Amino acid sequence: MSASLLLVGCGKMGGAMLAGWKAAGAAGAVVVVEPFGAPKGLPADVLVVKEASEIPADFTPDAIILAVKPQMMDQALPNYARYAGTALFLSIAAGKPIAYFEKHLGAHAAIVRAMPNTPAAVGRGISAAVPNANCSDAQKALARTLLSAVGEVAWVADESLLDAVTALSGSGPAYVFLLVETMAKAGVAAGLPSDLSMQLARATVMGSGELLRQSHESAEQLRRNVTSPKGTTEAALNVLMAEGAGGMQDLLTRAIAAGTARSRELAG
């Protein structure tokens, strides 16, 4: 079943989500509010306006997807308060808690706060989502449909967990890209040409991710499957899995803790 959608902001994430909705048949009538004009490649049946005042008076959205940058939300949000009580508000803005939206839209507004990540652009994202008490079962199902069009969806009961979600999966693609960078540089240090080293690093991470997606085995077991006793992999893992400072577990634990703390600061 398709829904009428109002997309506020059509940058990379908003555009990726719109493409996913169209491909999945989840979108009926769609209006996009984008002050910088229509992005390239939008379907011809999508109406693009530059500001909220240009939304057709007879357009009644089932859901309003808030995809503007967090620092622009104060300016944008009051324009849509008139839809509170009838439409679902789905926010993908980092650092803006449900209480913030209830303050600006009214305590009766139905709100789902979600944190997707950038692999949504290729349909491989994951979004963690939390609804407020005003969301009906139908609205939660609609939110799931919209988010699942670009990847997996995980519901969270406690909104405070979204700070850690942001640090783990929201920021997580950057950690994976950094892994590719560092692997490639390490290969160069070991004597490989830089282009070959980067090709090997990219293909290894992409292939390993696909194997993890398709396999029924845990990440731990897949790691063990690659690791022969006293072999080359074990020698390398002895460095990466060293206990204490400098080991991969310690580094990532501290990194995600730092990201979680910063998410809490941004939320105020």
Asked if residue 116 is part of any domain, the answer here is: yes
**How do residues 84-96 score in pLDDT, each as one tens digit?**
989 999 999 888 9
Q: Both 153 and 198 in a single domain? A: no
Q: What percent of the chain has pLDDT over 70?
A: 100
Q: Both 127 and 197 in a single domain? A: no
Q: Both 64 and 99 in a single domain? A: yes
Range of the domain at 180: 171-267
Q: Both 196 and 252 in a single domain? A: yes
Asked if residue 155 is part of any domain, the answer here is: yes
Q: Both 49 and 149 in a single domain? A: yes
Better-predicted residue by pLDDT, 35 or 251: 251
* CATH assignment at residue 127: 3.40.50.720
Q: Is the pLDDT of residue 80 over 90?
A: yes
Q: Both 137 and 191 in a single domain? A: no
Per the structure, the count of domains in the chain is 2
Q: Both 90 and 12 in a single domain? A: yes
Q: Both 20 and 108 in a single domain? A: yes
Confidence (pLDDT) at 1: 63
Which residue among 161, 185, 220 closes a domain? 161
Q: Both 153 and 177 in a single domain? A: no
Angstrom distances, CA of residue 250 to CA of 185, 238, 241, 254: 21, 14, 9, 6
Q: What percent of the chain has pLDDT over 90?
A: 77
Q: What is the pTM of this model?
A: 0.89
**How do residues 170-210 score in pLDDT, each as one tens digit?**
999 999 999 999 999 999 999 999 999 999 999 999 999 99
Q: Both 189 and 122 in a single domain? A: no
Confidence (pLDDT) at 55: 96
Q: Both 181 and 151 in a single domain? A: no
Asked if residue 166 is part of any domain, the answer here is: no
Q: Is the pLDDT of residue 166 over 90?
A: yes
Asked if residue 213 is part of any domain, the answer here is: yes
**How do residues 222-259 score in pLDDT, each as one tens digit?**
999 999 999 999 999 999 999 888 899 999 999 999 99
How many CA atoms within 13 Å lie on the side-chain side of 75? 8
Starting at the earlier edge strand, list the strands of the sheet with 63-66.
47-49, 27-33, 3-8, 63-66, 88-91, 110-115, 125-131, 151-155
Residue ranges of alpha helices (H) inside the chain are 12-24, 73-76, 98-105, 137-148, 162-165, 172-189, 194-214, 219-226, 232-240, 248-267
Q: Both 35 and 14 in a single domain? A: yes
